[in-house]
Copies of this chain bind each other. A is one copy, B any other.
Amino acid sequence: MSDVSDWWRTAIIDMEPGRIDIRGRPIQELIGAVSFPQMIWLMLRGDLPTEGQARLLEHALVAAVDHGPQAPSIATARMAVTCGASLNQAMASAVNLLDDVHGGAGEQAVELYHMALESSVPEAVSRWQAERGKYVPGFGHRFHTPTDPRAPRLMALTREAARQGDASGAFVEIAEGIEAHLASKAGKPVPMNIDGATAVIYAELGFAPPLARGLFCLSRSVGILAHAWEQTEQGGRNKGPTPPEYRWTYEPEG
């Protein structure tokens, strides 16, 4: 039997009738004893965070829940329920859109920060733009200028965590260094955005870069669900992206 069972091996969960162990701990001892962010950490990392680490993770999760219905993911979730989709289905179509451009900046920013840690801010930015393209992940916002209100708050909380020994603070320095470097190059503010700020926290906490994307998906799933539910209550059938009377512009190739 072992080859079939071994095909699906995992260190996350063990079970037998009446027993569920998560990372080696009985589930009933975790329920009521750990917070949701602690459980997220335990599931992803295999151990439990300190209280301070869990709080810092929680701040990042709280900060990124929503950016409104013009985000393609949120618009998709709202349209989906008017097509007859269930809430899980609406969430699925929407989370799928949190891809490289819409949901990958946090992951990329963690990578960038590690590059800066190993070299310097100017070298990391310059290498990123040469190898990965002109967009420096985590910085710049087409809407929130000069400041995304989430970023300074998250930086302040990370500094506080560093003072209490729950973070090194190194990635705060790096991210603020990148922000200053980009502003100096551009001659105007290039504000740290939510991806840049949460990436600082995920880097401080030692998460692998792809998990910055994964954690963002957990956080933004809250906004996706809230909007899908609000649209359910508003009603509507086959809601399109614009009021129907606008239609679209037909522009034949010439």
Spell out A's residues near B (CB within 8 Å): 1-15, 17-20, 22, 24, 26-28, 30-32, 34-37, 39-40, 43-44, 46, 58-59, 61-63, 65-73, 75-76, 78-80, 82-89, 91-104, 142-150, 152-154, 157, 208, 210-211, 213-214, 217-218, 221-223, 225-230, 232, 234, 237-244, 246-253
A246 CB contact (under 8 Å) in B1, B78, B144, B229: B1
A95 CB contact (under 8 Å) in B71, B92, B144, B157: B92
Measured between C-beta atoms, what is the minimum distance from A81 to chain B in Å?
Answer: 9
User: Within 8 Å CB of A238, what residues of B?
Assistant: 71-72, 101-102
User: Mind listing 12 A-B residue pairs with CB under 8 Å?
Assistant: A5-B242, A5-B246, A9-B248, A10-B68, A13-B66, A27-B149, A31-B150, A32-B59, A70-B244, A86-B213, A92-B94, A92-B96
Measured between C-beta atoms, what is the minimum distance from A148 to chain B in Å?
Answer: 8
Contact check, A17 vs B96: say whether CB atoms are below 8 A apart: no
Give Cα A150–Cα B29 distance, bound, in whole angstroms: 9
Give Cα A146–Cα B250 distance, bound, in whole angstroms: 22
Measured between C-beta atoms, what is the minimum distance from A2 to chain B in Å?
Answer: 7
A18 CB contact (under 8 Å) in B13, B91, B144, B154: B144
User: Within 8 Å CB of A99, what residues of B?
Assistant: 80, 83-86, 88-89
A249 CB contact (under 8 Å) in B5, B44, B104, B213: B5
Query: Given contacts A46-B253, A213-B88, A250-B14, is CB(A157)–CB(B66) below 8 Å?
Result: no
A217 CB contact (under 8 Å) in B91, B211, B232: B91
A83 CB contact (under 8 Å) in B24, B28, B101: B101
Query: Given contacts A58-B36, A68-B248, is CB(A10)–CB(B73) below 8 Å?
Result: no
Contact check, B147 vs A240: say whether CB atoms are below 8 A apart: no
Contact check, B28 vs A150: say whether CB atoms are below 8 A apart: yes
Contact check, B80 vs A96: say whether CB atoms are below 8 A apart: yes
A247 CB contact (under 8 Å) in B15, B30, B43: B15
Give Cα A32–Cα B56 distance, bound, in whole angstroms: 8
Contact check, A157 vs B32: say whether CB atoms are below 8 A apart: yes
A96 CB contact (under 8 Å) in B40, B96, B142, B150: B96
Contact check, A225 vs B27: say whether CB atoms are below 8 A apart: no
Query: Given contacts A88-B213, A210-B87, is CB(A28)–CB(B252) below 8 Å?
Result: no
Measured between C-beta atoms, what is the minimum distance from A58 to chain B in Å?
Answer: 5
User: Within 8 Å CB of A217, what residues of B?
Assistant: 87-88, 91, 221, 225
